[in-house]
């Protein structure tokens, strides 16, 4: 369902697999260019960086996860970080299978998931891109460092900030 943001007037799609908040407002809070930190940028990344974003287009990945116009199943899964008290959106499919991934087909990096960390933008970096392999991601979930974000009390599909809340789609 489409909504008009009460903060910035942007129109955005809200569904089960989209980012749960206005994508334009999230973008406005990014402190790094396009949300990509030097840690993940080719040339400035440290040796042990989880992913060096050579060829990656953070904007394309963002639009894909936000629910922009694109073919096929899209989107993200949202977790709440109990450690950082923030919402993090993980791409539905690993990088090799989503737009904006760069040319990593067949390389290990292609198996990593794109993660938008801190989509509320409360941290010093604001919302920013990170990359996680499946094992590490599962570990975070297993240890409850990351827990699935609460879902709307009515439709049980759309992510809400607080358990018991009703999503915009269900509000009359
Ligand atoms: Zn907005
Ligand atoms: Zn709902």
Task: Tell how far the Cα of 156 is from the centroid of ligand 2, in angstroms.
Answer: 6
Map residue 65 onto helix, strand or coil. Answer: helix
Residue 132 CA to its chain's centroid (Å): 12
Q: Where are the beta strands (DSSP E) in 2-145?
A: 2-4, 11-13, 76-81, 86-91, 113-117, 128-132
- Report which bound ligand comes closest to the CA of 23: 1
Render each residue's pLDDT in the chain as its tens digit; 172 residues.
Answer: 999 999 999 999 998 889 999 999 999 999 999 999 888 777 777 776 666 666 789 999 998 898 855 555 568 999 999 999 999 999 988 888 888 887 766 667 777 899 999 999 999 999 999 988 889 999 999 999 999 999 999 999 999 999 999 999 999 7
Looking at the DSSP assignment, which residues form a beta bridge with residue 77? Answer: 90
Tell me how far apart the alpha carbons of residues 62 and 57 are, in angstroms, rounded to a whole number.
9
What spacing in Å lies between the alpha carbon of 7 and ligand 1's midpoint? 5
Q: What is the pLDDT of residue 106?
A: 64
Predicted confidence at residue 52, as pLDDT, reads: 63
What is the C-alpha to C-alpha distance for residues 24 and 7, in angstroms, rounded to an integer?
A: 10
Q: How far is the CA of 43 from the centre of ligand 1 (A)?
A: 33
List the structure tokens of 164: 């018991």
Count CB neighbours of 127 within 10 A.
28
How many angstroms separate the alpha carbon of residue 13 from the centre of ligand 1?
12
């Amino acid at each position: 369902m489409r909504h008009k943001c009460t903060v910035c007037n942007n129109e955005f799609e809200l569904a089960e697999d989209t980012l749960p908040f206005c994508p334009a407002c999230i973008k406005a809070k990014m402190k790094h260019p396009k949300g990509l930190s030097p840690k993940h940028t080719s040339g400035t990344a440290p040796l042990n960086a989880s992913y060096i974003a050579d060829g990656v287009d953070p904007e394309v990945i963002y639009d894909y996860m936000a629910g922009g116009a694109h073919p096929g199943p899209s989107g993200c899964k949202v977790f709440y970080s109990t450690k950082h008290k923030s919402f993090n959106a993980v791409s539905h499919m690993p990088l090799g299978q989503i737009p904006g991934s760069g040319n990593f087909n067949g390389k290990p990096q292609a198996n990593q998931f794109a993660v938008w960390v801190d989509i509320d933008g409360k941290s010093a970096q604001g919302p920013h891109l990170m990359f996680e392999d499946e094992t590490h991601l599962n570990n975070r979930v297993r240890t409850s460092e990351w827990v699935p974000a609460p879902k709307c009390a009515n439709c049980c599909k759309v992510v809400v900030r607080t358990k018991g809340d009703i999503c915009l789609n269900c509000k009359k």
